[in-house]
Structure 1
């Protein structure tokens, strides 16, 4: 469907034409008419499906038609991270180019000038406020922010906000909002806690659920089965003859990101790192350098797996196997965007084979395994069940149990499974 077939006014359509937006994505086609009707909405759609435009366009359509107070905050868009808030703000600028609609992005940082700019926008009544929960509450606590005339309240990546512990913050913000408002939630997944939040803050919502997407067919997926100490050697081999360009390497923790980035710098590779220990100014600088091509490789935690819009990523490397299939889809979805091709490689050590097999089961296909470079030596066999059992024996300590010992009650087996589950959860945290 084309945008011109939707009930959008000429100002919105002019902006879309200037930005060369013609065809709706499925989430836009289904969501925009509902939002234009004024109904509350909960939409389940993954990053990269065009969800930002799915809520910004109908809201801008409503605001540009008038009837809203000029000196008030009319819409709040909540974002889990500064990076996503900045991206939404950039799209807001493009979409509202032909409209008399003002906006301000409100997110954390140590810049006092930035805080004052945000304060000015909030007190003068910007039409649209794009905010992270913590920073908006900081402004609210100082007493100069009036949310009593907000008409539209939007939660983007609601599941991620709850994962980051923002439930109480969101509910605190909701207390400042009028009961008569339109509330819109976008989430990549629909766990019970999202349903609970929806039941609390939405009124008779319409639901739009896109099928859980698989990675784009254009993404070439492959894996290296290896020992943990062979992973850096694989990277050295990959980049030995050709200078890497537009590569994101995902690691499971900020400590691992720091270790990998340090090792790659010793290989004389042009590397930046992105994790939560960096100050806001540092993160913005790293992302700017990466987008500009002055940094070739970005080593990052999942903080950039969602919501960062970089179209020409050539290669994504999962240095560690993601903890679940959705994280895998989000990570490798950074490549093969905007009609580009892309490659996604995953390094799978012995302990990670079970998780990787679950991802293969989710994708309903076996991911091609690339042979290790000869200089790295032998690779472990890809045998997820056997390796899981091996890891369980090792976890009990050397000398405990025999290979052929088949005894043990069902209760013991369930206990071992519980220990594994808890161990995985601890590792994830």
Structure 2
């Protein structure tokens, strides 16, 4: 497979894993993290000859589960080890295949948390002899709201195991999770590397309504071999695809709404150069390895500065060159400032071409995010325990278990701008009912001794 020498994360992680120590490793996507844990674990499995499932790898997306399974098949070509990817969104017969692999004891199971929980609910999943647990792209799993599922899965595993956690970033919530499931871990922190030197980064200041025309102008001027257009909203994917197709470009979109077969067919078509442009949400920014992508275009600025690095890291891989273009509207300018602080460089801001028209001025201080809400609005929300979390199960009227809570960001891919406000029934207006004529005399007698009933609105 043309592996000649280890990458930095492989060189640091493999000896730690071979010594059976727990590990928490922070390294950017595309740095060889998969081989960093698969190679030493395959070495252990090949010598131990387990008669049970020895390794569980948890990942955030179906595409990443499938890709890791394919990579394990390549690494284990001469090794007596079996693996299977467990994920949803596919045909019914795949459930039976997954059930058979789980019950027969495949050596390595690569799973998305939600699908694995579905199998666990059926009662035939037995991990009582599990030796190794790997959490890959752990920060992304927490961002997607998988904390309750992760804790539930971990609670079903033996306490005597080796646990490996790989993450592209190291926010406080990752360290909180590590403290709960790892034992005296070795920490490797390569941090987020800066974008590859071969990436030509540029940004355009443009209003939302100007973006289609600016996109059309750019595609006329640049030579695109293959391009990924990223958007934070899955609802925008089909709109962008239609715009491109009207321009005469071959383009397809990929979102979490598509079935797994459709997503795999789209990815395969893009790899085979059946179409030039792929429009996707951030599910494509993590761990998906596609060669020779010449251009990345951010139709909007990602919410997290780290995601910008993951997005543009799809190009200029393996010491090649590429171009990363980002459209900035007036509301996204504060995010750009955070990106520039993270990568420690200023990215050129270009004006729109004359035929597109002038865009907004770059004034990030006027468009900062996180402004405090008004007092009346903030007071209308009930106080909640920050450690409490919405359950992934069907909602009930019972209070959620505080241990299952997660403080996660809104899932922009699913089109949610903010968490939904809890149901707050309207208070009735308890104004005093007018007395009947027959009761007039009685009410006048008691008026002096009876206190007035105040309106609920007061």
Asked whether the two chains share a fold, i.e. TM above 0.5, the reply is: yes
Distance, in Å, in 2 between the alignment partners of 1:269 and 1:121 is: 42
Deviation at 1:415, TM superposition (A): 5.5
Partner of 1:39: 21
Deviation at 1:42, TM superposition (A): 0.7
Distance, in Å, in 1 between the alignment partners of 2:373 and 2:73 is: 55
Partner of 2:53: 73
Distance, in Å, in 2 between the alignment partners of 1:138 and 1:119 is: 11
Partner of 1:337: 317
Tell me how many residue pairs correspond in the alignment. Answer: 385
**1:349-394 CA distances to partner (integer Å, 9 max, x unpaired)?**
1222222122122222221223422211223322322x438x99xx
Unpaired runs of at least 5, structure 2: 378-408, 411-415, 420-458
Distance, in Å, in 1 between the alignment partners of 2:238 and 2:253 is: 7
Partner of 1:388: 367
Distance, in Å, in 1 between the alignment partners of 2:344 and 2:23 is: 31
TM-score, structure 2 length as denominator?
A: 0.79
Residues 367 and 242 (structure 1 numbering): CA distance in 2 closer, same or farther, change over 3 Å? closer
Distance, in Å, in 1 between the alignment partners of 2:342 and 2:318 is: 25
Partner of 1:59: 41
Moved more, 83-92 or 173-182: 173-182
Partner of 1:317: 297
**1:149-170 CA distances to partner (integer Å, 9 max, x unpaired)?**
1110111011111111111111
Partner of 1:120: 100
1:101–1:127 CA contact under 8 A, matched in 2? yes
User: 1:132 aligned to 2:112?
Assistant: yes
Partner of 1:177: 157
- CA RMSD in angstroms comes to 2.4
Alignment of 1:4-403 (within 5 A): 19-66=1-48, 68-70=49-51, 72-240=52-220, 244-385=224-365, 387-388=366-367
2:351–2:358 CA contact under 8 A, matched in 1? no
Find the residue that maps to 1:248 and give its secondary structure: strand
**1:71-95 CA distances to partner (integer Å, 9 max, x unpaired)?**
x101111111110001101110111
**1:176-228 CA distances to partner (integer Å, 9 max, x unpaired)?**
21111101111111222211111111111111111221111111101111222
Moved more, 105-114 or 213-222: 105-114
Deviation at 1:260, TM superposition (A): 1.4
Residues 241 and 388 (structure 1 numbering): CA distance in 2 closer, same or farther, change over 3 Å? closer
Deviation at 1:145, TM superposition (A): 2.1
TM-score, structure 1 length as denominator?
A: 0.85
Partner of 1:399: none
Distance, in Å, in 2 between the alignment partners of 1:418 and 1:48 is: 46
**1:239-286 CA distances to partner (integer Å, 9 max, x unpaired)?**
226663310111120112222122112212111111122122221111
Find the residue that maps to 1:210 and give its secondary structure: strand
Q: Which runs of 4+ in 1 moved over 6 A?
A: 416-419
2:169–2:191 CA contact under 8 A, matched in 1? no
2:28–2:191 CA contact under 8 A, matched in 1? no
Larger Rg: 2
Deviation at 1:414, TM superposition (A): 5.8
Moved more, 34-43 or 170-179: 170-179
Residues 321 and 95 (structure 1 numbering): CA distance in 2 closer, same or farther, change over 3 Å? same
Deviation at 1:416, TM superposition (A): 7.1
Find the residue that maps to 1:223 and give its secondary structure: strand
More helix as a share of residues: 1
1:73–1:125 CA contact under 8 A, matched in 2? yes
Distance, in Å, in 2 between the alignment partners of 1:170 and 1:323 is: 24
Distance, in Å, in 1 between the alignment partners of 2:281 and 2:65 is: 18
1:323–1:428 CA contact under 8 A, matched in 2? no
Residues 331 and 208 (structure 1 numbering): CA distance in 2 closer, same or farther, change over 3 Å? same
Distance, in Å, in 2 between the alignment partners of 1:428 and 1:249 is: 24
Distance, in Å, in 1 between the alignment partners of 2:221 and 2:151 is: 53
Residues 234 and 181 (structure 1 numbering): CA distance in 2 closer, same or farther, change over 3 Å? same
1:234–1:372 CA contact under 8 A, matched in 2? yes
2:62–2:87 CA contact under 8 A, matched in 1? yes
Unpaired runs of at least 5, structure 1: 1-18, 393-412
